Structures are given as C-alpha cells and as structure tokens.
Amino acid sequence: MQIKYEHIILRDMIESDIEDYVRWFTTETEWSNADAPWEPIESDEETERTSWREYYASVKELPDDARRWKFEIEWNGRHIGWVSSYPIDENYEWLGEIKDGQTVHRAIGIDICERDMWGHGIGTNALRAFMNYYFENGMDKLYTQTWSGNVRMIRCAEKLGFVECNRNIGTREVDRQKYDGLTFRLERT
C-alpha cells in the first residue's frame, strides 16, 4: 500500500529498507537525539538486521484494507524515515497492552533519519498524509507526543493544528537538564 502526498510517498516496508534501519540504529543515530534521547540506542548490526527481517516478514503480506500503524517515508525514491502510531490511555501514557473497556487514544509520530532531509517541510507533509490516512479511516481525534526540547516537532505539531493538551513538568532528562513531556491533540473538523 502507498499514499502519495506532495513530493513524498508513504508506503509499506520493502526488503531493501532493512539495511537503512540497520544503519539508523547502529551508526547514523543522530535522529534519535530529537525522538527520545533518554532512551539510548545500543545495538549491533546483526541484532538489528535480524530484528528488522523478522518485522518485515510479519508485515510484507498485509492486505491493502488492513489498517496500518506504520508507513515508510520515501522522498524522490529515497527511503528517509517513517511515520508510526501507538495507543495511549486517558492519562496519555503508552499502552503496551489494551484491556477490554479501556479508553484508548491514537498518538502519531515521525522520524526523519536522514540528516540532510531535516528542515525542508518533508516531515510536516509526511505527518499530514498520515493524519489524513487515519481521518479517512474513521478516526476523529489524534494525538502526538514530544518533549519540550524538540522545538522542530513542536513547530510541526502546531503548524498541523495540534493543540497542547497535557504537560508533564520535568519528566524528561537530556544531558542532565530537565524537560517537559508534551501531548498535543487534534480533532477532525
């Protein structure tokens, strides 16, 4: 499955993406300084290669009508990152397991891993395309989460119409400095 929007394509993973993930999670990890720098990436090529091969095997045969939680971002034929979503509860905490009757919200996020692609609006367009995908598939409210030190993501969220709905003061520590955990909400109009 793929979604074209502006100059980007959101698409399902292809086998050649595996080596990009190996590189992004072992040697070219600068992107993670914006994502969740309090969660250091400590891996090796073989572990990553095995993990991403297993993941690819689990998603490569998805039918087009299966709702996706993740798409790869392609720009001018180049794989540059991904958009993804995850469940959060009414307190905006990540849900590893969803229980019957539990309130569940959908948070979306983005990682552009190729440094030379930062600051060109590609991430905003990719996230907009992903939002449209969820809205077209019945969602009426989306969330995104970041930390107060990730100024680019905050600007992206605000540009897309997200409004801050929760702030956890001082819950993120990066380079011995405290930052706030932020949650933003966007309701379909």
pLDDT for res 103 = 80
CB atoms within 10 A of CB 29: 17
pLDDT digits (tens, 9 = 90+) for 103-128: 889 999 999 999 999 999 999 999 99
pLDDT for res 8 = 95
What mean pLDDT do residues 139-151 have? 96
pLDDT for res 85 = 97
pLDDT digits (tens, 9 = 90+) for 45-94: 999 999 999 999 999 999 989 999 999 999 999 999 999 999 999 999 99
pLDDT digits (tens, 9 = 90+) for 11-24: 999 999 999 999 99
pLDDT for res 41 = 87
Task: Tally the domains of the chain.
Answer: 1
- Length of the chain equals 189
pLDDT for res 98 = 80
pLDDT for res 110 = 97
Q: How far is CA 175 from its chain centroid?
A: 23
Exposed e or buried b for every residue in 62-88, given b needs 16+ CB within 10 A? eeeeeebebbbbbbeeebbbbbbbbbb
pLDDT at 176 over 80: yes
Q: How far is CA 160 from its chain centroid?
A: 15
Q: What is the pTM of this model?
A: 0.94
pLDDT for res 124 = 96
Question: Which runs of E-coded beta strand occur in 76-176?
Answer: 78-88, 105-112, 141-147, 163-174
| Structural domain for 36, as ranges | 2-187
CATH number of the domain that residue 27 is part of:
3.40.630.30
Residue with the larger pLDDT of the pair 98 and 178: 178
